[in-house]
Amino acid sequence: MNAAPVVIAGASMAGLRAAEQLRAAGWTGPITLVGDEPHAPYNRPPLSKEVLAGKASFDSLAFRPRAAVADVTWNLGTAVVRADLDRQSVELSDGTGLSYAALVVATGMRPRRLRCPGPTAGRHTVRTLDDARALRTALTEPGARVVVVGAGFIGCEVAATAVALGAAEVTVVDPLPLPMAGPLGELLAGALKRRHEQRGVRFALGAGVTGFEGEDRVTGVALADGRVLPADVVVESVGSIANTEWLDGNGLDLTDGVLTDEHLRVGGRPEVVAVGDVARFPNARYDGVPRRVEHWSIPTDTAKHAAKVLAGHLAGAEPGLDPFAPLPTFWSDQHDFRLQSFGAPALGREDVRVLDGDLDGDVLVGYHRDGRLVGVVALGGQQAAAAAARHRAELLQQPALTA
Ligand SMILES: Cc1cc2nc3c(=O)[nH]c(=O)nc-3n(C[C@H](O)[C@H](O)[C@H](O)COP(=O)(O)OP(=O)(O)OC[C@H]3O[C@@H](n4cnc5c(N)ncnc54)[C@H](O)[C@@H]3O)c2cc1C
């Protein structure tokens, strides 16, 4: 009889990294990856930047295949529709049932959509390769008037790319008074807004969207304060929803992603782990409050830790590891500048200090909690990003916030 595989649900970055790290951690048994997209795993950050701008090709997004995972079984274009964690089995959209020795939850996020009245044609999101293809076609129509709903990092990136592509008008709408104020705090968010405005982006802040105008396709965006913004292309960038419905009925906490313990295990089960954007984990480095982290560094960090935990369990050993305590890192390219973040700035939003430079040039900002540095963000060119990186060691040495 064949040994049961490790089944990885979700065949994107976190799923791929989990497979690679399982091999690195010594699991030599079968691995089956199941992914509902038809594409092999690809890199998402360029979808709102280089690839959307036409500076890199869609083909360049694919992750390079590594020899260590040449023998894994791929089930692409197939969703996991149900899981029975007591029976250690999953059901796929093609009707197949799969028993597993261990399960890796790597199903990530999908874009939240606005539930407002009006036409849907002309409204876009950007999460997948197919989304980005459709958006690029729309943005390269001559004279396009673009409204980006949501002033988070993806909204700001898409607005910058739309300007670079020559859109006639680009307006970012958000009910909050500043872009990216949640992760950055008001000081840096204000500087970010000024830079966007200097490069041609308009903002309509402080009012939410109430509806979309137009018959067959969108022609305008109506705001709560009565304004109507003319629009040929709307990009909805209003957050994301975790893909966890397939885990319903197993008694798990799926409030916002999949709740894990300090070793990324799910529901008290040593053979089930969650990785990537979908994992809501306590970070021993901070206050122990479980949070999801949608940063590119997290699929790899979570996969490394979870794979050691699983491989140990499958070999009959306890984890013997320190609790998971990654240092989150994040970057965002917008126009000709980069935001580069290390640590957890959002936890230190109440005590923000300029550490280097000035807010109209290259600047490095520090975020503090109880007087301790918990995060740094640089805004500017390569030198600012390098200055942020120099604080990594200091951030890594800080005692846990709960200590
Ligand atoms: C446009 C964009 C730009 C970004 N830019 C940056 C950046 O500049 N810097 C940064 O740090 N981070 C950035 N990120 C974030 C980073 O890309 C994500 O954190 C990372 O891609 C998460 O990977 P993941 O594998 O956990 O999730 P996902 O990439 O969401 O992968 C989950 C996969 O599972 C599939 N799936 C879902 N449900 C099922 C199911 N039931 N069965 C089977 N398969 C399923 C999904 O279709 C998807 O393929 C960006 C993200 C996006 C979308």
Return the biggest CA–CA distance within the chain: 67
Measured from the Cα of 13, ligand 1's closest atom is: 25
**What angle do helix axes 153-164 and 186-198 make, rounded to 10 degrees?**
10
Task: For residue 260, give the 3-state DSSP assignment.
Answer: strand
CA distance 36 to 92: 10
One fold for both 6-110+241-314 and 113-238?
A: yes
Q: What is the pLDDT of residue 400?
A: 84
Which positions of the chain have pLDDT values less than 50? Answer: 1
DSSP state of 200: T
Q: Where are the domains of the chain?
A: 6-110+241-314, 113-238, 336-396
Helix, strand, coil content of the chain in percent (nearest 5): 25, 30, 45
Q: What gap in Å lies between CA 72 and CA 103, rounded to an integer?
A: 14
Distances (CA, A) of 203 to 146, 173, 379, 396: 12, 6, 19, 37
Homologous superfamily of the 6-110+241-314 domain (CATH): FAD/NAD(P)-binding domain (3.50.50.60)
Indicate the top mutation candidate among 12, 74, 103, 148 to test ligand 1's pocket, ranked by most ligand atoms within 8 A of CB. Answer: 12
* Number of Cβ atoms within 10 Å of the Cβ of 131: 17
- The topology under which CATH files domain 113-238 is FAD/NAD(P)-binding domain (3.50.50)
The confidence score (pLDDT) of residue 65 equals 85
pLDDT digits (tens, 9 = 90+) for 362-391: 999 999 999 999 999 999 999 999 999 999
Residue 319, pLDDT score: 72
Q: What is the model's pLDDT at position 2?
A: 63
Pairing status of strand 363-369 against strand 372-380: antiparallel
What pLDDT is attached to residue 401? 82
Q: Whose CA is nearest to atom 9 of ligand 1?
A: 331
0.85 exceeded by pTM: yes
Residues having CB closer than 6 A to ligand 1 are 9-10, 12-15, 34-37, 44-45, 47-48, 79-80, 106-109, 126-127, 154, 243, 246, 276-277, 294-296, 298-299, 330-332
Q: What pLDDT is stored for residue 317 in this prediction? A: 84
**How far is it, in rounded angstroms, from Cα 346 to Cα 124?**
28
